[in-house]
Amino acid sequence: MTRYLININNDCNQCMECVEICQNKVLTEEFINMVKITLKDKHHYFRKYVRGCTCCESCEDICEQHAIWIIDPEWEEL
């Protein structure tokens, strides 16, 4: 099973629209809250490999802040 790399940057305003639209329930309110706590430590963005994500890009499409993006690890090698 492919593990996709979820990236969230400081532009996230915790609107939770990505949580509501996530088809596989990979993004949860707890996950987003943990990300924001991590970002408070002066990190520019958060990255995590996640199982269960199908890279449907729904979260990217709904995010008005463009704060979330998904990367297929195979793409990084190209």
The secondary element (H helix, E strand) that includes residue 8 is strand 4-9
Residue 22, domain CATH: 3.30.70
pLDDT of residue 78: 43
Instruction: Please count the CA atoms within 13 angstroms of the CA of 44 that sit on its side-chain side.
Output: 0
Q: Where in the sequence is the domain holding 35, given as residue range(s)?
A: 4-76
**pLDDT per residue as tens digits for the range 10-56:** 999 999 999 999 999 999 999 999 998 888 877 788 999 998 999 99
Number of structural domains (the chain) is 1
pTM for the complete prediction?
0.84
| pLDDT range class, residue 75, cuts 50, 70, 90 | low
Helix/strand/coil for 59: helix
